[in-house]
Chains A and B, each alone.
Chain A
Amino acid sequence: MTAAAGLGYVLIALGPALSLFVAVIAKKPFLILTLLSSTLFWLVSLIVLSAVWRGFLPVKSAVWWPYVLLILTSVGFQESVRIVFWKVYKRLEDMLDAFADRVSKPRLYLTDKMLIALAGGLGHGLAHAVFFCLSLLTPAFGPATFYVDRCSHIPFFLISAIMSLGFVVIHTFSMVIAFNGYAEGRKSDQAIVPVVHSIAAIMTLINLAPGGCVVGVPLLCFMAAVTLQYCWQMVWRRLTEHQNRQMNN
């Protein structure tokens, strides 16, 4: 409904991502490059998934178990892409450290590594929001709006914007958790990321039931809050440990 509503939906989905970008990422060019490459990674994984599933689509609306399979395979594939991303990042980190030594600059700080992880996660979240929400928002700039049968309480665009917001948060901060988990070798951190991702994705299945979005969407926001909280705790712990270690040296 008009450009104002369209812009509003865009900002709901991408507002926090935009403020993160402007405040943190836009200042360091390397983080912008990380963001672009992780967006590209996510897009490639999505294309591969759609290539695999193209033969089985469109699914008849009455049946719901193909969707379960779809979600599980997609989440599994994306988590393995995350591991690949981590390996690429490890090699890049070694190259950067070698370069820093050669240019006689300090090596990457802990905050630098976390910033790179944040940019990577934000790239994933941005790609998710762009492809699942923004690319379908073009009709919202027109004079009317659109409702889905299964959830006729609020417009379709608003639901997808809120869900994209939840997923942006989940993707961004679970990348930080995952990178820290792999770096430190803590199994709990490493395991919680796929778990959170799958739970969040499975929760969107609740939306398949008529009227289910009333339950599904708030649950998704709850998962996003859980991710945020976990990430906050982990980062706090890591940084205080690091600072204590530095003061002891």
Chain B
Amino acid sequence: MAQDPDSTPSLLDSLGEEIIRIVAPVSACMLLVVLLVSTLSSSTSPLSSLAAAAYSDPSSSSSAASIWDKLSGALLSSLVFIASVTLLTFLLVLLFYLRCTRFLKSYMAFSSFVVLAFLGGEILLLLVTHFSFPIDAITFSLLLLNFSVVGVMAVFMTKMPISVNQGYLVIIGVLVAYWFTLLPEWTTWALLVAMALYDLAAVLLPGGPLRLLVELAISRDEDIPALVYEARPVEPRPGARRRLWRERRDYGTNSGSNANPSSLGNMSPVTDERRDLGTNSSLNSNNSMTGEALPETRLVISEQESAGGSSRSELRAPLVQTQLDSRGEGEIEGIGLGSSGAIKLGLGDFIFYSVLVGRAAMYDFMTVYACYLAIIAGLGITLLLLAFYRKALPALPVSIMLGVFVYFLTRVLLEVFVVQCSTNLLMF
């Protein structure tokens, strides 16, 4: 077969790599949550969609009153949740302003430990019960303790291999998201929409807490004490920038820390091929388009999710006072069109995307696929907007709105259509 000369690597080889590096862990997190939900949930029977097609059931209109009750109850609980999250975020901003970083960091280490040990332990227990896995209590607790301690170290120490760090961040996201899916249905949807709106307000409004936090961090050149997932920096082209890679590597393994802007300033003799859409090599490179000072592109915010003592009961009633929420903005240091930035996404985004998909999994798998595609599309749109606007942007609103919209469309329109065609063996 005729082949084009492969000596010069084609453009397609590395285009869009950063985007895939952030889409892959988001997809992995969603997949794990869907698997957990489908194995551990016993509420919906698997035949719901086929059975619904077999006999055409008119939608019940008698429960109109209870729908309104459910709706108002859900709205109320999500409002309370949002209010507590706002308060806690302002508290975080205050603490950060007063430079209590050590307290914040140790608090986050403590809460990751609690998430991994207690939430993770409960889920593992549920799995062991479900699969009748033979394991004794002592082994189990020993393994769990080790797992949690390594997790805390992986997330907060800089010397860990980056895959371990990324893996543990995804696991923390999965655990918290699974517990959120246990909320009642209307509450979950109301909560998702409310969080998306809150994220929009908190990041873009001038008085929003997240914006304040970001500006504080930028003006002080410090890291935000946060849990953030960072995609691995892209390997340079052969022969081009080894030095850059080493600097990036140090920066990259600073888990949870947004590396100092100045460390990236050494990207000096930028080869002309580099199209610096958003890289922060502003200091020395003269042909980059972003001559501005780095800070605007460095925005990642997420606060640590903490689970209070009696985690499960607190999660059921959304009055989770001690819950700090992690929401984040997608940040991009150079859109994935060939520059070498690493994209960072707050852990809260992982969590809420997975909550949406997990809740869709409780209905049927068709909604899962549709919502997955909608969320990925929303994430792509957010990244594009980021490359365009070059400032802190909330990653939740677009994806969540698209996801919720597609969920309802699928449930109302698509499912009947597809089931009708498929059971008659008609396809196109």
Contacts and interface: CB of A to CB of B under 8 A. Distances in A.
Contacts of B23: 32, 36
- Main secondary structure, interface of B, reads helix
Nearest to B339: A103
Interface centre among B2, B8, B19, B420 (most CB of A within 10 A): B2
Interface string B387-414: 0000000000000000000100110111
A207 B11 contact: no
Interface string B113-137: 0000000000000000000000000
A116 B424 CA distance: 34
A50 interface: yes
Interface string B323-340: 000000000000011100
A115 B365 CA distance: 30
Q: Which interface residue of A43, A74, A205, A207 has the most chain B CB atoms within 10 A?
A: A43
Given A132-B427, A135-B364, A54 B273 contact: no
Given A50-B414, A96-B11, A109-B4, A102 B425 contact: no
B373 A40 contact: yes
B10 A99 contact: no
A49 interface: yes
A71 B421 CA distance: 10
Among A57, A74, A133, max chain B CB count under 10 A is at A57
Interface stretch (B42-50, B72-80, B170-178, B188-196): B42-50
A136 B11 contact: no
Contact of B16 (A30, A47, A163, A201): A30
Contacts of A204: 425-428
B417 A53 contact: yes
Contact of A146 (B11, B50, B425): B50
Interface string B35-68: 0000000000011011001001000000000000
Contacts of A40: 373-374, 376-377
A57 B17 CA distance: 43
Contacts of A20: none
B158 interface: no
Interface string A125-150: 00010111111111101100010101
Interface of A (DSSP majority class): helix
B408 to A, nearest CB: 11
A74 B417 CA distance: 12
B12 A108 contact: yes
Contact of A239 (B1, B422, B426): B1
B10 A136 contact: no
A67 B413 contact: no
Given A58-B56, A78-B428, A150-B424, A105 B11 contact: yes
A103 B338 contact: yes
A43 B373 contact: yes
Contacts of A81: none
Nearest to B4: A109
A100 B275 CA distance: 10
B100 interface: no
A167 B427 contact: yes
A152 interface: no
Nearest to B48: A138
Contacts of A49: 417
B413 A213 contact: no
11 contacts: A28-B13, A29-B17, A37-B380, A50-B416, A100-B11, A131-B370, A131-B418, A135-B369, A150-B424, A163-B425, A243-B2
The 5 closest A-B pairs by CB, nearest first: A50-B417, A135-B366, A207-B425, A243-B2, A201-B428
Given A36-B380, A134-B369, A138-B365, 11 more contacts: A67-B426, A99-B275, A135-B365, A139-B46, A142-B46, A150-B424, A150-B425, A160-B427, A163-B427, A197-B428, A240-B2
